[in-house]
Amino acid sequence: MANYEILHDPDMQDILDSFIVETREILENLDSELMELESSPQDDELLNKIFRAFHTIKGTSGFLGLERLTLVTHKCEDILNKLRKGEAVLNSGIMDGILDAFDKIKLLSECVDENKNEDVEIDDTLNLLVSIIEGMENPSAAEVKKEKPVTAPEPDLKETAKAPKPNKKAAATRNKVTKKTATRKTPKKKTDDAFVEEPEPEEIEVEEVELDEVETEDDTVEVLEEDGEETPEIQEIPLESVGIIAKSKGTSGSGNVGDKIAKAAMQKSQESNIRVDIERLDELLNIASELVLGRNRLAQVNSDVALEHEGTELSRDLADVTKQIDLMTDELQLIVMKTRMVKIGKVFNRFPRVVRDLAKETQKEVRLIIKGEETELDKTLIEEINDPLVHLVRNSVDHGVEDPDFRKKNGKDPVGTIILSAEHEGNNITISIEDDGKGIDAEVLKEKAVSKGLITEEKARELSKKDAYNLIFLPGFSTAAKVTNVSGRGVGMDVVKTNVTKLRGIIDVESEVGKGSKIIIKLPLTLAIIPGMIVKVANEIVVIPLNSVVEVVRVHKDHISSINQRQVITLREQVLPLIDIDTLLYGVVEKKESDWQYVVVVGIAERRYGIKVDDLVGQKEVVIKSLGSYLGTVHGIAGSTILGDGTVVMILDISELINSIAK
Amino acid sequence: MKKVILVADDSPTIRKFVSFALTMKGYEIITASDGMEALEKIPNEKLDLIITDLNMPNIDGFELIKTIRENELYKEIPIIILSSLGSSEEIEKGMAYGANSYLVKPFDPKRILYEVAKYLN
């Protein structure tokens, strides 16, 4: 066993940190690249990239004396080298070995990071890899051998013979939606001229994405120069200087230099990042939000001055300054927000593997389509949304998509489709998980809930289809007849709901029996500066976070009915409980009854409620400030903010308020 | 006058590692993450030596060496290959393209200092 002295050497810390970060990044990309490879095993470019990934880890871990990492990566490198040279063709047996090794490498690097040693057992993985390599070198012997280690009978034949069509389709779709695949393939496939002739709209679309990418990434390059160790001018030099050298290369040069420059530009802009401590970003955001408050105040003062000293030079100057500060603050705020944004692809990229493993385990065939992986959202949200998504995707595979035989019998494509997508919608991001499986049967859900004693039979009858879907979010509810290894992993739908609620998000379930289901999660883009709806309740002004607001309606008092002494309204066949915010906040308040009542319909995860308000004041970007340590947490209040005229108003924590009613 | 060395490797860890060892000895280090970036930087610096990896994205080490050797301005710069591709055919190919030395990763930092000193003193 090696000693890991070098890992404890203070001089090496910097290098070790760099190794950890680099390896983690490589592994993150590798995860999705391996999945891609499985659907397009003949992609040389991809093979090279994967080979290089293992190769790099091998090289760096060798430096640091990490023997086990070096061993495992070395074996993977051997396998990939054989694939690369066309000495063997990728099959699911080989893929399983590589994935197993991938998992081990991940464990090892985590172990190095945390414990500064390599205490992870690797013998099984090594044996598996060695037997794969032997099989590749000696295919005839492998025929006999292969039958043994692989548990599922005839996996290769079955997959290749049965699935070529859907596989191709999956690859094509992926081409469209996955930028990485697209950009990697296009430059390789054709020269510049051929590209012009290419009439297929699909391809042009891809190119557009690529150009777009280069441009937008380039914008950030100046700020985000790698490690800050190089001068920014370098960005402008490359084309010419390469030109000089490339020209001197003359005809002997292989490969198309133009292609390479384009690729390098891509590569470069992707690599030009600087790592910043998240705490610094938090501070920056905090200061920016203070500035927003100051800006709002300034705008108010400006309009006051304009009224009192109309037409004077002073008021004109102030107006100018105010306008400028206003503009700059907006921009600053936007940039600070953007700095904290992370592409959701970071989370999405893990799913091909999740789906693959699960489909295998449950003997289903599933293709996963990922859309909108470029969509960005705040880092804090990214971290929190991962677990719920894993659970939802697993659910889709496990409970949604049917067995291939069953699907075929019912005239469906035996390969099920799950679409995971993300898109921006105003100040929200919408993430949806859609499958074309069996759908959710509201009646079955109701029966289940009744038999588990979660709701009464009477209540079950009253539930609308939509309300019935929401039963799945009740703690202790599971539709699987028995808790399978797959679904019973501790994270239930109620946890999904809890997490989404915590992020002030909304969940919607749509489903059609026999056709499939779709779960939609709507999250705010950021948690610090939010658009708020300013309303008046019992003569107090309060702010309701706009992302919780579904709609605002005005109802006549005759349309307010009561069930169990609780006021409700019926809105498009959904019964909404009405909430008196003032009684909740201030105790019982004497009220003047009017004929018409404003109701703000809010959503908390899957539930909808109506909040009675006296008046609607307006809508504004507000900065959530904590109430300060001396007040601590006040029930039902998310924080406070300062309006332009200096008034401090409370921002309601809708989910907490409503939970208190539910109790 | 400090001697200037260009280190081309796609792994930031290796770049740091090599830079660390060489700056300790008083050399000035410029880094590039692939052959492409190396070619961009070469005209801007008065280089005394180049250390390069072979397997890199965009433009690999072989092509980098070839391009440098074919350019009148830079063909005299000594080049050391630092790679984990350790088979004899690769070593031969690298040397045939015009490299001066070949080190196989992982290597002892002393070894690279020795090789560098061979060309720069």
pLDDT for residue A564 is more than 90: no
- Distance from B10 to chain A by nearest Cα, in Å? 8
Residues above pLDDT 90, as percent of chain B: 17
State chain A's mean pLDDT as an integer: 74
Judge whether B34 is closer than 8 Å to chain A, CB to CB.
yes
pLDDT for residue A493 is more than 90: no
Of A60, A234, A249, the CB nearest to B13: A60
CA distance A600 to A615: 10
Judge whether A231 is closer than 8 Å to chain B, CB to CB.
no
Of A18, A55, A260, the CB nearest to B13: A18
Query: Dihedral angle at the C-alpha atoms of A119, A123, A128, A129, nearest 10 degrees?
Result: 70
pLDDT at A236: 39
Element (H, E) at A127: helix A123-137
Extract the residue ranges of chain B whose pLDDT is less than 50: none
Closest CA to A443 of A425, A462, A465, A421: A465
pLDDT for residue A2 is more than 80: no
The answer to whether A424 is a known catalytic residue is: no
User: With bands split at pLDDT 50, 70 and 90, how would you rate the model's confidence at A418?
Assistant: very high
pLDDT per residue over A437-460, tens digit each? 988 888 888 888 888 888 888 888
CA distance A310 to A304: 10
Quick check: helix, strand or coil at residue A620?
strand
Residues above pLDDT 70, as percent of chain A: 74
Average pLDDT over residues A228-241: 39
Size of the A and B interface in Cβ pairs below 8 Å: 105
Report the residue of B11, B19, B34 to disrupt the A interface, i.e. the one with the largest count of A CBs within 10 Å.
B11
Query: Could you tell me the two tokens for A248?
Result: 């001197």
B chain contacts of residue A234, beta-carbon cutoff 8 Å: 40-41
pLDDT for residue A39 is more than 60: yes
Kindly list the distances between the CA atom of residue A96 and the CA atoms of A102, A317, A486, B74, in Å, as whole numbers in the listed order. Answer: 10, 70, 19, 47
The answer to whether A395 is a known catalytic residue is: yes
pLDDT at A494: 76
Contacts of A468 (CB under 8 A, 6+ apart): A442, A443, A445, A446, A460
**Residue in chain A lying closest to B34 (CA):** A264
Residue A334 burial (CB < 10 Å; 0-12/13-18/19+)?
exposed
Would the pTM count as exceeding 0.80?
no
Average pLDDT over residues A533-562: 87
Residues above pLDDT 90, as percent of chain A: 7
The answer to whether A55 is a known catalytic residue is: yes
Domain at A529-662, CATH homologous superfamily: CheA-289, Domain 4 (2.40.50.180)
DSSP state letter for A41: T
pLDDT for residue A181 is more than 80: no
Catalytic pick from A36, A77, A118, A606? Answer: A77
pLDDT for residue A193 is more than 80: no
> Which CATH number, 3.40.30.10, 2.60.40.10, 3.40.50.2300, 3.30.200.20, labels domain B4-120?
3.40.50.2300
Q: Which residue has the higher pLDDT, A348 or A248?
A: A348
Q: Which residue has the higher pLDDT, A608 or A162?
A: A608
B chain contacts of residue A245, beta-carbon cutoff 8 Å: 39, 42-43, 67-68, 71
Average pLDDT over residues A93-103: 89
Asked if residue A178 lies in contact with residue A230, where contact means CB atoms within 8 angstroms, the answer is no
CB contact under 8 A, A59 and B72: no
Q: Which residue has the higher pLDDT, B40 or A13?
A: B40
CA distance A473 to A378: 25
CA distance A177 to A171: 10
Identify any residues that bridge with A534 across adjacent strands, giving them in sequence order. Answer: A543, A618
Ranges A223-237, A595-609, A612-626, A642-656: which has the least confidence: A223-237
Contacts of A245 (CB under 8 A, 6+ apart): B39, B42, B43, B67, B68, B71
Contacts of A400 (CB under 8 A, 6+ apart): A416, A418, A435, A437, A438, A439, A516, A517
Q: Where are the domains of chain B?
A: 4-120
pLDDT at A662: 62
Q: Which residue has the higher pLDDT, A606 or A413?
A: A413
Judge whether B23 is closer than 8 Å to chain A, CB to CB.
no
A chain contacts of residue B12, beta-carbon cutoff 8 Å: 18, 22, 227
Quick check: helix, strand or coil at residue A181?
helix
Asked if residue B62 lies in contact with residue B98, where contact means CB atoms within 8 angstroms, the answer is no
A chain contacts of residue B11, beta-carbon cutoff 8 Å: 22, 56, 59-60
Closest CA to A601 of A579, A573, A585, A619: A579
pLDDT for residue A75 is more than 60: yes
DSSP labels, B14-81: HHHHHHHHHHHTT-EEEEESSHHHHHHHGGGS--SEEEE-SS-SSS-HHHHHHHHHT-TTTTTS-EEE
CATH 3.90.550.10 fits A343-440+479-524, yes or no: no
pLDDT per residue over A300-338, tens digit each? 888 888 888 888 888 889 999 999 998 898 888 878 888
Average pLDDT over residues A179-200: 40
A chain contacts of residue B87, beta-carbon cutoff 8 Å: none
CB contact under 8 A, A15 and B11: no
pLDDT per residue over B24-52, tens digit each? 888 899 999 888 888 888 888 888 999 99
CATH topology of domain A5-177: Four Helix Bundle (Hemerythrin (Met), subunit A) (1.20.120)
pLDDT for residue A1 is more than 60: no
Asked if residue A47 lies in contact with residue A84, where contact means CB atoms within 8 angstroms, the answer is yes
Of B16, B41, B55, the CB nearest to A52: B55
**Residue in chain A lying closest to B85 (CA):** A55
CA distance B107 to B112: 8
CB contact under 8 A, A226 and B33: yes
Query: Could you tell me the two tokens for A578?
Result: 């009405």
Contacts of A106 (CB under 8 A, 6+ apart): A27
Residue B24 burial (CB < 10 Å; 0-12/13-18/19+)?
exposed
Of A11, A56, A255, the CB nearest to B10: A56
pLDDT at B52: 92
Query: Dihedral angle at the C-alpha atoms of A441, A443, A446, A452, nearest 10 degrees?
Result: -80
B chain contacts of residue A251, beta-carbon cutoff 8 Å: none
pLDDT at A349: 84
pLDDT at A527: 66
Question: What order do you get walking across the sheet with B4-8 strand by strand?
Answer: B28-32, B4-8, B49-52, B79-83, B101-104
CB contact under 8 A, B71 and A62: no
